[in-house]
Amino acid sequence: MKVTTSTSGAAMVAAVEGRVDSANAKDLDQELGAVIDQGGSRLVVDCSDLRYISSAGLRALLVAIKRTNKEGGGVAMCRVPDHIREVLEVSGFTRLTKVYATVEEAAGSFD
């Protein structure tokens, strides 16, 4: 797994690549936590190169959603491959965070 951080407007963007499962979900939790620490309470998670996510990875995502919500921001997802979207839907995560086509749309959703 690799997390690349950038900015888009007033939002922080975390692009998550590769595979997130029980073996490395703790790393994702820490990476997203670090981005939020840097002022990223408006957090875009770019999933274009996310190949696989299990419930352990969703747990890290839920932590980020709860924390950014509390800080008055939130998490917006974007560029989510179909098979990942299916996992988000079955888990009810599409009720917790919105999914956008592009990074810019996701970043703009906080305005």
Partner 1 sequence: MDAALEVGMKPQSSEPRRVAELFERFGAEHDLPPKIVMRMELALDEVLTNVVSYAFGEDAADAQITVGMYISGSLVRISIEDNGPPFNPLTEAADPDVELPAEEREIGGLGIHLAKTFVRTLRYERVDGRNRLTLEQPLDGQPEEPSE
Q: Is 21 in the site for partner 1 (CB under 8 A)?
A: yes
Per CB under 8 A, 109 contacts partner 1: no
What residues between 58 and 97 interact with partner 1 by CB under 8 A? 58-59, 62, 65-66, 69, 83, 86-87, 89-92, 94-96
Give a three-class secondary structure readout of the chain: CEEEEEEECCEEEEEEEEEECCCCHHHHHHHHHHHHHCCCCEEEEECCCEEEECHHHHHHHHHHHHHHHHCCCEEEEECCCHHHHHHHHHCCHHHCCEEECCHHHHHHCCC
The residue within the footprint of partner 1, chosen from 19, 27, 108, 109 (CB under 8 A), is 19
Contacting residues toward partner 1, per CB under 8 A: 19, 21-23, 52, 54-56, 58-59, 62, 65-66, 69, 83, 86-87, 89-92, 94-96
